[in-house]
Amino acid sequence: MAIVKDFLYNNLKHNIEAGKMQYGVALETTSAEVAEVLATTDYDWLFIDAEHGPHNIQTILNVARAIAPYEMTPVVRVGEAAAGTFKQLMDSGIQNIIVPMVESGEEAAQIIRWAKYPAEGKRGMGAGVVRASRFGRIPDYQQRIDDESMIMLQIESLKGMENLDAIASTKGVGAIFLGPADLAVDMGLGPNILHPDVVAKMEYAIKRIREFGVPVGTIAATPEQAKHYADLGVSFFALGADTAFLASAADSTVTSFKAELEK
């Protein structure tokens, strides 16, 4: 059977490299149907949140399959980093992984070792029998995947900010994703990502990371804040979540009908 599509081509990675702003949306539920609905929108990538959402390898795989016919790229944020986590996700065909709460260059280097094949890393070899290589039908999988995958390290604490240079300069890092909400909490400001002190930390981090030639992603509270961060060098955003959209639409609908019917 012929392979009719280049399954390894990473749209998100190549679009970022080409200077095209990439817009993502978080999937907090495990619903493949909801994921497919989101894939029909103008979002570019799906933020499958296995850190805060109840995902496991099977739900992640179901979601990835659901959006595969579309242009949307799956990105998984793991609950914790471990060698087995990377093997399962990457052997299942997930090429873009976000690791939360990275706080040192040593952590960054270990993560990259788990994600890359020798000699760059220590990823175990199972490519001949797994979905990532289309069950052995992509003969150059091992040669290409390290270049096509994008391992993103999330900096979201004061300690991570202190060690920003060591993290961003780690060989093999695909991008840095900044987490302003946890950073704000760590600064004693609550989850206020609009606080001037948080914004100042974010501004410095964005500019400094770009000096290393590493792409930067983050979230934003408003379109104006997103534009400000984009002007500083951010090239991909996570904007909104399925659960928030559902709650907002439900509240809006029932409130408007009750207002009319209960006059």
CA–CA dist 7, 135 (Å, integer) = 12
> Domain count of the chain?
1
CATH number of the CATH domain containing 123: 3.20.20.60
Query: Within a domain: residue 2?
Result: no
The residue-averaged pLDDT of 251-259 equals: 98
Q: Whose CA is closest to 238, among 14, 13, 48, 7?
A: 48
Query: Within a domain: residue 3?
Result: no
Is 197 annotated to bind a ligand? Reply is no
User: Is residue 1's pLDDT more than 70?
Assistant: no
State residue 218 phi and psi, 5-degree precision: -170, -170
Residues 6+ apart with CB under 8 A from 258: none
At 4 the pLDDT is: 52
Structure tokens of 123? 């990823």
Is 156 annotated to bind a ligand? Reply is yes
The residue-averaged pLDDT of 8-34 equals: 98
Query: Within a domain: residue 142?
Result: yes
Work out the angle at residue 24's Cα, subtended by the Cα atoms of residues 207 and 146, and round it to the nearest 5 degrees: 75
Query: Within a domain: residue 5?
Result: no
Q: Whose CA is closest to 79, among 148, 154, 25, 146?
A: 154
Residue 55's domain spans which residues? 11-261
CA–CA dist 72, 43 (Å, integer) = 7
Query: Within a domain: residue 112?
Result: yes
What's the pTM?
0.95
Active site residues: 52
Whether the Cβ atoms of residue 149 and residue 123 lie closer than 8 Å to each other? no
Tell me, what DSSP letter sits at residue 72? P
